[in-house]
Structure 1
Amino acid sequence: MTATDRQSHWQTVYLTKGEQQVSWSQADPQPSLRLVESVATSRDAAIVDVGGGASRLVDALLKDGFHALTVLDLSGAALASARARLGAAGQGVRWIVGDATVWQPEQVFDVWHDRAAFHFLVEEADRSAYLDRLNRGVRPGGHAVIATFALDGPEKCSGLPVQRYDSLTLSRTIGPAFELVAQEPHRHVTPWGATQSFQFSVLRRL
């Protein structure tokens, strides 16, 4: 799938379903919020939410006093939904419509968060392009908090195949520039009551 195809797919998803009708919707963005806050060095930490869409993680981070926030997503409709929800509170957030495999980070971040974007990259070239951005986009000593479907999680999501991981296979895929420092299983309950198995990994940039 090309970057253009991915963007068209996710734009259609958000335009036809909306924030509350997608499987990954969360009213309370856990454990993402807790894990991001566990590695953020201060409320001045530069944080990027890759594939953040209409997630409420940005809301929670703003409420907790973080202000150097960037949200990147393929879908402009998803970001517009989040911006409208936040209103004036979101004016200081940097909103970027883009694909993580072609995006060029203009700064380095203290924390890179990705809940369920990386696992859609099933082709090696796309994973390599994402990892190039990850390596350039996280400062030495910074952290990546990356969640994917676990080995017993779904094989598809929103009609697309995914690559499932445990923390060790994810760490090996990401490569030697990062070390795995924490891991956590998570059972996500969708808005219609189905349960999905995720794994969350916290990795430190060496």
Structure 2
Amino acid sequence: MSVPQNPAFTDASNTPEHWERAYRARPSTEVSWYRPHLERSLAFINDVAPDRCAHILDVGGGASTLVDDLLAQGYRHLSVLDLSEGALSTARDRLGAAAGGVAWLHGDVRTIALEPQSLDLWHDRAVFHFLTNEADQAAYVSQVVHALKPDGHLVIATFAPDGPTRCSGLPVVRYDAAGLAQVFGGAFRLEDQAADAHATPGGSVQSFLYCRFARVG
């Protein structure tokens, strides 16, 4: 089991300024985390939130195409949260008029005000693994517990134990399913997991772990 430890570094560089620079440095389709379609995310979302009226938050969605695909599938209550206003602007510009049907949230997932028990599904691909100290991890978990409905679901993807140790110049924490379940605690029940090999635009392959949790506490 891979259980995250409290490393010697802090999350001080994991700031809006860092991510604004990352998105200015290259087109959004050339950053290492870009994928034309998040097939694994879409499959897990469709499994547990088939109702197109489901309230879904994509944490760290930024310039991701997940919101495009969810809109195309008919989902009507979508929110995208990101530290980078530039990334959010890229997605809004790409969507054009359809962007008006999405709530765009610029802020930090650890501190942003979210409505209590307002979400049916919380989605995160590759944000949580940037939180490398226990205080930030606990703040994130508290936000999920606060915002999800009692019968809601969490779909989360992090680097797997054999994945990279750094991304975008920052250290990350790698997880297996047992490690993620331990961090999220008794308020969540692990329902499914899947490995995902992400091919980056630069030609390398990164090992991800996807987990799907149900809110139970």
Q: What TM-score comes out, normalization by structure 1 length?
A: 0.97
CA contact (8 A) 1:3 1:101 kept: no
CA contact (8 A) 1:118 1:148 kept: yes
Tell me which amino acid in the other structure corresponds to 1:78. Answer: A
Instruction: Return 5+ residue gaps in structure 1 as ranges.
Output: none
Between 1:33-42 and 1:49-58, the stretch displaced more is 33-42
2:63 — aligned with what? 54
Q: Does 1:136 align with 2:146?
A: yes
2:158 — aligned with what? 148
Q: Does 1:172 align with 2:182?
A: yes
Within 5 Å, give how 1:26-65 maps onto structure 2.
26-65=35-74
1:60-114 alpha-carbon deviations (Å, 9 max, x no partner): 0000000100000000000000000000011110000011111111252000000
The alpha carbon displacement at 1:18 in A equals 2.5
Q: Does 1:189 align with 2:199?
A: yes
Tell me the C-alpha RMSD between the 2 structures.
1.2
Q: Does 1:87 align with 2:96?
A: yes
* 4+ long deviations beyond 6 Å: none
2:25 — aligned with what? 16
The alpha carbon displacement at 1:134 in A equals 0.6
Q: Does 1:200 align with 2:210?
A: yes
Instruction: Return 5+ residue gaps in structure 2 as ranges.
Output: 1-9
CA contact (8 A) 1:3 1:99 kept: no
CA distance in 2, matches of 1:48, 1:192: 28
2:121 equivalent among 97, 111, 118: 111
Tell me which amino acid in the other structure corresponds to 1:20. Answer: T
Secondary structure of residue in 1 paired with 2:35: coil
Tell me which amino acid in the other structure corresponds to 1:134. Answer: V
The alpha carbon displacement at 1:192 in A equals 1.5
Secondary structure of residue in 2 paired with 1:20: coil
Secondary structure of residue in 2 paired with 1:65: coil
1:176–1:185 CA distance, 2 compared to 1 (3 A): same
CA distance in 2, matches of 1:27, 1:18: 13
Secondary structure of residue in 1 paired with 2:186: coil
Identity across the alignment (%): 48
Q: What TM-score comes out, normalization by structure 2 length?
A: 0.92
- Total equivalences in the alignment: 206
Tell me which amino acid in the other structure corresponds to 1:169. Answer: G
Q: Which has the higher contact order (CA 8 A, sep 6+)?
A: 2
